[in-house]
A and B are shown apart, each in its own frame.
Chain A
């Protein structure tokens, strides 16, 4: 399997990972650290104030076993919802967090007609900044029972697969991105490129805030 060489960034960005209790959350920390960022897992209940206190420059929210249209899951994820509404920092939402992002901002998530487990091919519709260097398609690993059925207003679709309509999307107004597949796992061939792109967005955003 061939992997891309990625490069990052000048100042060391602080990018915590919200632990949504999925299997790969800890791997996100590993990839970010390997790419030169400072990162650690933060609890699902974390607030913007707490994140600001540790000086975060961007945030990644991982996957988890929840179903976002179920009441109990929604309650469990309520702090994360608030973060999605309030944060103006760059935000990358993976798997369940991607689905929650859609629900929170006015889109819809439901059970997938054809759930994906393991290998899929992600087809790029629009590279944007986050998927730069991944066209026209790449092999990714996914693991989900639900999927985004309708994106929130003002969101743009960036990628799809054979059985899933929204593999990647972004907000039109804020640097907020969602991906359905798992860029953090080894078998996703362009995963590091995506994190590297995200860190560049984070660094640029941090510089512009100064």
Chain B
């Protein structure tokens, strides 16, 4: 009994959404914030087809973009076939001020969201736009509603009344799609491959990869490391790969000793060749459908064994699941690739995952030679980085981003 599976039909979806947008707006103007990612670009492209010049596309430069990103995105979107009229709005200072010295992941995300919508609201008022179109997709509202993390683009689903608070009505044409389906729509719309196949970049940008407090030198190290990781992992990194920056500050934690013992048993090496640290920074995770804001452990083994296990990805995955299932507040296990100057204030971690829909994720086994090459370059170019680690954690118990 073989029956053909009904595929997701982009043609039907596109037609339906264009009609609906046109009907709901009835000649009114609307604003959309574009990041250059596949969600917002697909959404803008749909809206542009429905309403033409009545759509105002803005790119908000939050200061948490990658090096050269605003310029690159503008160039890509303004040229054909998209030809979207796009305006860059600089708001770096406003964002830095709002985030301030906050260390907590959720506080940072909420401050970001508020600043993001205030900025949009100001522009919308000036331009007489009563509607905001945005590219929220399914995992965004599922995670925000489930209390896992505050996505920057989710309002109505958690009871924030956008109309009262910001003066616009929100329209979300792709809110029921998953990433892979959005890509199907993007390809159908003829969006350039550079965007339709681009790896996701979180709404709050590098903010959620700058773990803990934001500092200037820390953000700089993150921007450089991001560029280096994107270059080295371009062909091996899976659906998403990136760098995060952490504080090189460790804590005295009761779990340290038992973890050390477990690593030594798991990898069958002597315990004096194993060093486990619990970092002071915390990272967002998910266990049994509940949010956990948990601990990050780094595992450093002697140079003699490090490379051997560095190639044995299955062993490292096993190690991660063993450690996270015994110590209940761990959400991240890092495997140290290389050390620089011990006294430097920051650490960098490299994360690479494979997934279809971003609801679950497995790590990708990056060749050890690639990891060490990336780590070497990071340590050379960022003198304020002490260690470079490889993140071993699947989702669950981690989330894809650190915060």
Contact = CB atoms under 8 A, between A and B. Distances in A.
A207 to B, nearest CB: 13
**Interface of B: prevailing SS:** loop
B324 interface: yes
A96 interface: yes
Interface stretch (B45-53, B261-269, B271-279, B282-290): B282-290
A21 B289 contact: yes
Nearest to A62: B289
A108 interface: no
Q: Please classify how large the interface on chain B is, using the bins under 10, 10 to 19, 20 to 34, 35 or more.
A: 35 or more
A117 B146 contact: no
Interface string A3-32: 000111110000000000111101100100
A141 interface: yes
Interface in B135-155: 138, 142-143, 146, 148
B297 to A, nearest CB: 15
Contact of B289 (A6, A8, A26, A143): A143
A96 B290 CA distance: 12
Interface in B1-31: 1-3, 5-6, 8
A16 to B, nearest CB: 16
A167 interface: no
Contact of A163 (B8, B325, B355, B362): B325
B3 A23 contact: no
Given A23-B143, A145-B288, A187-B360, A8 B3 contact: yes
A36 B142 contact: no
Contact of B359 (A8, A21, A185): A185
Interface stretch (B102-110, B117-125, B390-398): B390-398
A118 B359 contact: no
A9 B8 CA distance: 18
Contact of A23 (B317, B325, B359): B359
A186 B357 contact: yes
Contact of B325 (A9, A26, A114): A114
A178 B150 CA distance: 32
Contacts of B359: 23-24, 27, 185-186
Given A23-B142, A36-B3, A118-B394, A145 B287 contact: yes
Given A65-B290, A146-B288, A186-B356, A118 B5 contact: no
A34 interface: yes
Contacts of A65: 146, 288-290
A117 B356 contact: no
A6, A7, A10, A163 interface centre (most CB from chain B within 10 Å): A7
A35 interface: yes
Interface string B339-373: 00000000000000011110111100000000000
A33 B361 CA distance: 22
B325 A34 contact: no
A22 B3 contact: no
Given A114-B325, A115-B325, A22 B289 contact: yes
B357 A27 contact: yes
Interface string A99-118: 00000000000000011111
Interface residues of A, number: 39
B326 A118 contact: no
B59 interface: no
A144 interface: yes
A82 interface: no
A119 B357 contact: no
Nearest to A200: B1
A185 B286 CA distance: 15
Interface in A27-57: 27, 30, 33-36
B321 A119 contact: yes
A85 B2 CA distance: 34
A145 B396 CA distance: 12
A64 interface: yes
A175 interface: no
B288, B317, B321, B397 interface centre (most CB from chain A within 10 Å): B288
Contacts of B8: 34
Contact of B286 (A1, A35, A143, A182): A143
B326 A114 contact: yes
A44 to B, nearest CB: 13
A109 to B, nearest CB: 12
Contacts of B5: 6-8, 34-36
Interface string B313-340: 0000100110011101000000000000
A90 interface: no
A117 B357 contact: no
A58 interface: no
A30 B178 contact: yes
Given A30-B178, A143-B396, A116 B1 contact: no
20 contacts: A1-B354, A8-B5, A10-B1, A23-B286, A24-B360, A30-B178, A35-B5, A65-B290, A95-B289, A115-B287, A118-B394, A118-B397, A141-B394, A143-B289, A144-B288, A145-B288, A163-B325, A185-B359, A186-B360, A187-B361
Interface of B: 1-3, 5-6, 8, 138, 142-143, 146, 148, 178, 286-290, 317, 320-321, 324-326, 328, 354-357, 359-362, 394-397
Across the A-B interface, give the 9 residue pairs with the lowest CB-CB distance, nearest first: A117-B397, A118-B394, A186-B356, A65-B289, A145-B288, A22-B289, A185-B360, A143-B396, A117-B396
Given A114-B325, A141-B360, 19 more contacts: A6-B5, A8-B3, A10-B1, A34-B6, A34-B8, A65-B289, A115-B287, A116-B325, A117-B287, A117-B288, A117-B325, A118-B360, A118-B362, A118-B394, A119-B394, A120-B321, A141-B394, A163-B325, A185-B360
